[in-house]
Amino acid sequence: MASPAVRRKVLIVEDEGALRTSYERFFAERYELALAGTGAEGLRRLGDFNPDVLVLDLRLPDTDGIALLQNIRQTHPKLPVVVTTAYVSMEPLMGVLDLEHSAYLVKPFDLNELAARIDAAG
C-alpha cells in the first residue's frame, strides 16, 4: 500500500487578517500550514513548526520585514523564502539579503502564482 504524499510545510507571515484567511482557505489541502500575523509570532512559529518554505510579507506591524528576514537568515540560512510586498522593485534587495534561492511577488497577485513560487522554492 502506497504511503500518502508528504505535504510541504509552509509558514506564512502576513499581518492582514483577510489575506491570512484567504491563504488558509486556498492552501489548506495543498500544504501543511502555519500562519502568523506579526514578526514576533512568525519567529515563534518558525522555531516550533520548522517549515520547508517561508512566505513573508515585508510590512509587518511590529518589525521591519527586512530586519526580520536578516534575523531569520542567521538561524535558517537555506530556508527558501517567498517575499510578498507592495514594492515594485525588489531586485536590489534580493542580492543584498542573500535571497538568490528565493522569490518575491508584488501585491496584488494571484494565489496560483504564489503556489507556483512555493512549489518551486528549494
pLDDT at site 121: 87
pLDDT, tens digit (0-9, with 9 covering 90-100), for 66-104: 888 888 988 898 899 998 887 666 555 655 566 655 788
Would you kindly state where each structural domain of the chain is located, as residue ranges?
9-109
Please give the residue that has the higher pLDDT: either 3 or 17.
Answer: 17
Please give the residue that has the higher pLDDT: either 64 or 75.
Answer: 75
**Once rounded to an integer, what is the mean pLDDT over residues 41-59?**
94
The values of phi and psi at residue 73, to 5°, are -60, -30
pLDDT, tens digit (0-9, with 9 covering 90-100), for 21-33: 999 999 999 999 9
Helix (H, G, I), strand (E, B) or coil at 10: strand
CATH fit for domain 9-109, picks 3.40.109.10, 3.30.70.2740, 3.40.50.2300, 3.30.70.3170: 3.40.50.2300
